[in-house]
Structure 1
Amino acid sequence: MKEEFLHYLWKYKKFNFSNLKTTNLLPIVLEQVGEHNQMNSGPDFFNTQLVIDNQKWAGNVEIHSKSSDWYVHHHECDPAYDNVILHVVWENDVEVFRKDNSIIPALQLKDYIDKNILSQYQKLFQNKDTSWIQCEKQLCDVSDFIIFNWQERLYLERLEQKSELIKELLYKSSNDWETVLFKLLAKNFGLKVNSDPFLSLANSFDFSVLRKCSNNLKYLEALFYGQAGLLNSDLDVPYVKELLQYYEFLKNKFTLKNHGVLPFQFFRLRPSNFPTIRISQLANLYFENKKLFSKIITTSDLEKFYKLFDTSTSDFWKTHYTFDKESSARKKKVTKSFVHLILINTVIPIKFLYAKSQGKDVSEEIFGLISQLPVEKNTISDKFISLGVNMEDALHSQSMIQLKNNYCDKKACLKCSIGNYLLNREDSLG
């Protein structure tokens, strides 16, 4: 029996606690299960309160599959366990003694567990490792209401997780939100393949340099392409030669270095996603929009976001995907689907954390915005749809990514609302 399940049973009192007895048949009255210690070393539950044989105890509880695990884990040598008042076990196979040779009272939990929850637990965890998720055969039994409520909490959890990178960037930029926005946008413009190279590009110069170049599109492109190491002096292309001249000027003026910029990938990318195209679009975005951060923070309407990010490349890239090869003329605008990615991965997370830093609640605005975006097409959302999960918008697809990566893959069913529902439903439903 997994200890994680025993923690769950104790924490939520999923057992018959009306007539508890120690393994030595002393009556137990459980008053408070205590605080679950999920992160730190030491006993599993702190500040438990209970009465054993009319004696009131306050202290800690340790939980094991077998009582002999106490010695396997060498708790007898650790003073952190001196204040354990009850040893909760699935099977009591050996007595455990304190330093004064008194026996630590033990509760054998298997004698009190609800048979229904044990049956559901076995069904949930009997799937082999080949299963995509533990509950894939039972997921169709879970109502949309339960899933939708869980999805909202999962999405907020995902925003909190995405906030960690933003906090790190804020720390490194002395809380300059405009700088952080640029770095997040650059990372987003690189998509999955080039996200790290684009972020390294954005990190290779101070944002003040971008501000000083923002009135001249050629300066911005020269800055970006030059720092990216994509300008080849051997090419006999007027546009390249012009950018090289501008870049040499900027390089000397601002003492630019690009040693830490990662190489950009073109392999297996659609031409519209080539870093050359995305860099020009990013340069145009900042050429056309001064104080972009304030515009994003004050905008909540989807159509206005479409207009804000309605940018394209410079003229050279209308007939090129790379510097050295000409192609048929085509205007390469940022598409609506790409704007959706920008909103999901950059705009909404930064609006969320900024509002939080200001002590404001914008959850209604954020839920309203993410709910207007279509379901993302990826292997995770497609699989959940095939299992019968109703997916209506990007909030649902984002939440299911969070669910798969942070719960299903880790078999953390006991921390999942779906897993909890399946554990506690009646046998007749299974």
Structure 2
Amino acid sequence: MKEDFLHFVWKNLEPSCKVFITEGGEEMEIVHRGDYNTDAGPDFSMAKIRIGKLLWIGNVEIHIHSSDWYRHHHEQDDSYANVILHVVWKHDRNVITKGGKILPTLSLESIINKSQLKNYLRILRNRSVFPCLQKKNPLPEIYYINAFEKAWVQRIERKLVPIRKDLLETKGDWNEVAFRAMARNFGFRTNSIPFDYWSRITPLNLIEKNKDDILNLEALFFGQAGFLSIPSRDPYHAVLKEKYEKLSSTFGLQCMNVSSWKFARMRPVNFPTVRMAQLAVLLHQRKSIFADFFQRRAFTELIEELMVVPSDFWLHHYMFGKPSRVRFKRLGREAAENIIINTLVPLQVAYGIEKGIPEFITYAEDLLKAIPAERNFIVGKWTREGFKCNNAFDSQAMIEMWNSLCAEKKCLNCSVGSKIIHEKSIS
């Protein structure tokens, strides 16, 4: 038995539908089971439980054995002083409150539906990748479709968190918010943190003033990143350094420590220097840095705009001071699709929610459905089981469902797992 299953059972007890008997022999009615707490402290807060003729309002704590209360030293923790009900699988010891009274206890062992318990144990012991995929009596596909849709909503909500944080920090400056989001994405996971910091110390008003001159823009970008502080014999490096020193002196700029950037174990095309050069050209080509990206237009047109080619110096360099063989370093289609998925779509959704314009959200979903499905080992797990993955909307949902639920066998938190287990809540 695991506590998370007992949490599942408690969540699914229907309030006011049945009178239970506590271990002390008192009648008990659930008015409100409480709000689930994922942080430290009791498992459910602000519950309303009627015991006898009294209505109690407080917290509910759940354990496998009632003696776990003392094993976890809750008697020494004041955050458990407001617990009004102890829900356990087996009652093996009375818990005494600080007031010297016995804490009311409800044992679930005798009231859990046996078929529900059997279903839970079958999933728990199933070692297959997806325990929910039953060979006998499989669930209709609609349950998985609904679960994928919920997973996509959860994924987009996670991606909105940094955007909303930036909105608060910038007092609603969407250009600044979009610049930060785009910069993080150009870090492509490995360098997303230094790119994020770089975007915060690089004034957007200076980018606006210098974006029409690619030399000035690259000087600002690479200077703020710290790449111009390292010695180099490249004439191009010298030109950028001279321009940056003027900008730095005039506007009191402070650059990053170049050691913040990661190059190890990366393909040269993904070096932060190359990505920064691509970002510079992308902004250089925009009339308005980000207003263009909030205009609704065809996916193919958007892809072409994102697949930029950096300035000529980067044809034969991946970083300053180290010439390389000539290679066309256009931002690849896969990288452009990644930017749409992870930056432009969340920005569109966030903007639509903030401004109350649902068309932006619809457009964001349409963009995802126009992008081919991502190919990775997670999507492969689903497709090998016969699930169709037609586009990036589908693959994003599959990735989220795997990462947040399936990988850690959190079947109890999944609508599919809940359907399989929860034939009847309580007999």
**TM-score normalised by the chain length of structure 1:** 0.84
Shift of 1:59: 3.3
Residue type at the aligned position of 2:237: V
Residue type at the aligned position of 2:173: D
Q: Does structure 2 retain, via aligned residues, the 8 Å contact 1:35–1:47?
A: yes
Q: Does structure 2 retain, via aligned residues, the 8 Å contact 1:375–1:396?
A: yes
Q: Does structure 1 retain, via aligned residues, the 8 Å contact 2:90–2:108?
A: yes
Take 1:189 and 1:83, find their aligned partners in 2: how far apart are those partners? 49
Shift of 1:14: 7.9
CA 1:202/1:26 → structure 2, altered by over 3 Å: closer, same or farther? closer
CA 1:22/1:38 → structure 2, altered by over 3 Å: closer, same or farther? same
Q: Does structure 2 retain, via aligned residues, the 8 Å contact 1:37–1:44?
A: yes
CA 1:310/1:139 → structure 2, altered by over 3 Å: closer, same or farther? farther
Take 2:302 and 2:113, find their aligned partners in 1: how far apart are those partners? 53
Corresponding residue for residue 173 of structure 2? 176
Equivalent residue in structure 2 for 1:284, among 281, 286, 304? 281
Residue type at the aligned position of 1:191: F
Take 1:99 and 1:236, find their aligned partners in 2: how far apart are those partners? 75
Corresponding residue for residue 378 of structure 1? 376
Deviations along 1:329-377, one digit per CA (max 9) or x if unpaired, are x543223221111111111112222222223334333222212222222
Take 1:84 and 1:266, find their aligned partners in 2: how far apart are those partners? 53
Corresponding residue for residue 12 of structure 2? 12
Q: Does structure 2 retain, via aligned residues, the 8 Å contact 1:67–1:95?
A: yes
Alignment of 1:96-107 (within 5 A): 96-97=95-96, 103-107=102-106
Alignment of 1:138-287 (within 5 A): 138=134, 141-231=138-228, 235-260=232-257, 262-287=259-284
Alignment of 1:13-412 (within 5 A): 13=13, 20-23=20-23, 27-28=27-28, 30=29, 32-39=31-38, 41-42=41-42, 44=44, 46-50=46-50, 52=52, 55=53, 57-60=55-58, 61-74=60-73, 86-97=85-96, 103-127=102-126, 135=131, 138=134, 141-231=138-228, 235-260=232-257, 262-323=259-320, 324-328=322-326, 330-361=327-358, 362-412=360-410
Shift of 1:320: 3.6
Take 1:233 and 1:3, find their aligned partners in 2: how far apart are those partners? 56
Shift of 1:217: 0.7
Q: Which runs of 5+ in 1 are unaligned?
A: none
Shift of 1:111: 0.8
Shift of 1:9: 0.9
Alignment of 1:411-430 (within 5 A): 411-424=409-422
Residue type at the aligned position of 1:169: D
CA 1:93/1:253 → structure 2, altered by over 3 Å: closer, same or farther? same
| 3-state SS of 1:224 partner | helix
Q: Does structure 2 retain, via aligned residues, the 8 Å contact 1:11–1:33?
A: no
CA 1:77/1:194 → structure 2, altered by over 3 Å: closer, same or farther? closer
| 3-state SS of 1:90 partner | strand
Q: Does structure 2 retain, via aligned residues, the 8 Å contact 1:380–1:404?
A: yes
CA 1:174/1:152 → structure 2, altered by over 3 Å: closer, same or farther? same
Q: Does structure 2 retain, via aligned residues, the 8 Å contact 1:49–1:57?
A: yes
| 3-state SS of 2:405 partner | helix
- Cα RMSD between the aligned structures? 3.3
Take 1:241 and 1:102, find their aligned partners in 2: how far apart are those partners? 79
Number of aligned pairs? Answer: 419
Take 1:235 and 1:347, find their aligned partners in 2: how far apart are those partners? 36
CA 1:373/1:104 → structure 2, altered by over 3 Å: closer, same or farther? same
Identity across the alignment (%): 33
Residue type at the aligned position of 2:343: T
CA 1:385/1:38 → structure 2, altered by over 3 Å: closer, same or farther? same
| 3-state SS of 1:87 partner | strand
Shift of 1:112: 1.4
CA 1:274/1:7 → structure 2, altered by over 3 Å: closer, same or farther? closer
Q: Does structure 2 retain, via aligned residues, the 8 Å contact 1:7–1:63?
A: yes
| 3-state SS of 1:164 partner | helix
Take 1:334 and 1:73, find their aligned partners in 2: how far apart are those partners? 54
Residue type at the aligned position of 1:367: E
Shift of 1:314: 1.2
Deviations along 1:369-393, one digit per CA (max 9) or x if unpaired, are 2122222223322333334443222
Take 2:177 and 2:217, find their aligned partners in 1: how far apart are those partners? 18
Shift of 1:80: 6.5
| 3-state SS of 1:63 partner | strand
Shift of 1:42: 4.2
Residue type at the aligned position of 1:125: L
CA 1:170/1:85 → structure 2, altered by over 3 Å: closer, same or farther? closer
Q: Does structure 1 retain, via aligned residues, the 8 Å contact 2:227–2:258?
A: no
Q: Does structure 2 retain, via aligned residues, the 8 Å contact 1:144–1:390?
A: no
Take 2:13 and 2:167, find their aligned partners in 1: how far apart are those partners? 43
